[in-house]
Each structure stands twice: as C-alpha cells, then as structure tokens.
Amino acid sequence: MLCMICDDQESEIETIKRSVMEYAREHPELSLKLRCFLRPLDMLADINKSGAPDIALLDICMPGVLGTEVAREIQSKSEGSANIIFLTNSSDFAVEAFALHADDYLTKPYTKERLADTLDRVIKKRRQCAYVPIRCGSEIHRIDLYSVVYAETENHSVEIHLQSGKCLKTRITLTGLRELFGAVDGFITVGASYLVNLRCVQSVLSTTLQMTNGDIVPVPRRLRSEVKKQYFDFYTQEATVR
C-alpha cells in the first residue's frame, strides 16, 4: 500500500512520517510504503510518472499549488479510488476538502492517536473495496466496483460512469462486464443497455431510476416491478446484515 506525504515544512513531514511509520510497525500486514515531498509540484510529477498513491496525506496551504488541487489530480489519476487525508493549520478549506470526498480533515496540532484512528478507518474502507482491471483502448484502468454508478452500452462499447464523474469506455460487452463484477452483489441489469449499482440509486421513480450523480436510467415497462423488488430486497438485506 503506497502512502504519499506532502507538506512544505520539513519538520511537519518528519512528524507525519514518524507517526505513519509507527502505525506501519503496529500493522506489518499492510506492507506500507512511504514517499515524502516538500513541493506539491514534485509530488504531481511523481504521480504522473509512477501513478497515484493509495493514501495521500496532504497539507493545503503550500506554495505553487494548493493541497486541494493536488487532491483533484490524485482522484483523477486513481479513478477516485485514492484516500485523501488533509493535515493543515487552516480550517478555511474544510468545505472544499469534503466536496472532494476527503476521508478526513485534521487541523494541526493533532495527536498521533487521532491520525491512527483516521488510518484505521481508511484502511478498513480500502479492505472493503473490490478492484477490477478495465481495458480502455491501449490503457488499463484499475477501478473500485463500489465507485461505479452504472454502465451503459453505446455504439458497440460500454461506458462506465464513476462516482468521480469520470466515464470510461471499454469494448467489453455488458454481459462480460456483469461477469467481471460477479464477486460484488448489488449490481442489476436493467434492460439490454444498462448495468446499475443499486447503492447509487437515489430514487426509484415510476418509469426511471434516478442515480446519485443526477443521471436517469430508463426502466422498460416489463421490468419495473422486478427492478423495484430487487431494490427493496437489496436494501432489506443490507439493513439485516448491519
């Protein structure tokens, strides 16, 4: 698991690094790797060259580029699968940070126990993810199935819509995609054109599904009762498990 730290104060980097390394020693099963950066542009260059981290610990007010901009780039490169933790002196950017789906926003000074609690939560969340490789032309993207809102067939391809707002296009069939997603429940086919993540259905309307990203998925007349039943059964099961 790759963790990147970026702060423009060397003393802060050393403090964060010590806390994370202590956490890693207490959790040797993680095989945690660290990369530290004093300049956000250096971090972005490394990400463009080697890929996004699994976890990023970011200061916000840094020269050249704000930590929130770095977070946007990380989320773009990771298809939204990276976990972002902001460590900052300022509370002014909290709303923007959480709009970026940050996992936490810690204001300095914070305790190492507070950071450890956040890492516990983030890593538990990562263990619940289910990643699959998706080939898009000459590229291969690793996506978390839980980040998929829905997939739609379009001109002999399938467009996969992610919670990050990104859309990936692949030549796999919808049936093939459903088989690839087989390890995770909560996905249903809606007609011949859609594969829908029930976790991302905001509302079941009379003729459509309204998704959490604002998109609308049409439901054929013959399937409306069955789709409503699958939605109800899924959330009944989820509530029972919890």
Edge-first strand order for the sheet with 187-190 is 167-170, 157-162, 148-154, 194-197, 187-190
> For the residues 219-239, what does the mean pLDDT come to?
87
Q: Of 42-56, 69-83, 106-120, which range is least confident?
A: 69-83
Phi, psi angle pair for 4, to nearest 5°: -110, 140
> For the residues 29-38, what does the mean pLDDT come to?
90
Q: What is the DSSP letter of 99?
A: H
Statement: residue 31 has pLDDT above 80: yes
Arithmetic mean of pLDDT over the chain: 89
2-127 with 131-241: one CATH topology? no
CB crowding 48-66: b at 16 or more within 10 Å, else e: eeeebbbbbbbbbebeeeb
**pLDDT computed for residue 242 by the predictor:** 46
**pLDDT computed for residue 239 by the predictor:** 52
Give the model confidence (pLDDT) of 161-187 as tens digits.
Answer: 998 888 999 998 888 888 888 767 889
Task: Count Cβ atoms below 10 Å from residue 101 Cβ, excluding itself.
Answer: 14
According to CATH, the superfamily of the domain at 131-241 is: LytTr DNA-binding domain (2.40.50.1020)
CATH level 3 topology of 2-127: Rossmann fold (3.40.50)
Q: Distance between CA atoms of 56 and 150, rounded to whole angstroms?
A: 27
Tokens found for residue 144: 């978390």
Give the model confidence (pLDDT) of 134-166 as tens digits.
Answer: 888 888 888 888 889 999 998 889 999 998 888
Taking alpha carbons only, the member of 82, 206, 219 closest to residue 150 is 219
Domain boundaries along the sequence of the chain: 2-127, 131-241
**pLDDT computed for residue 183 by the predictor:** 61
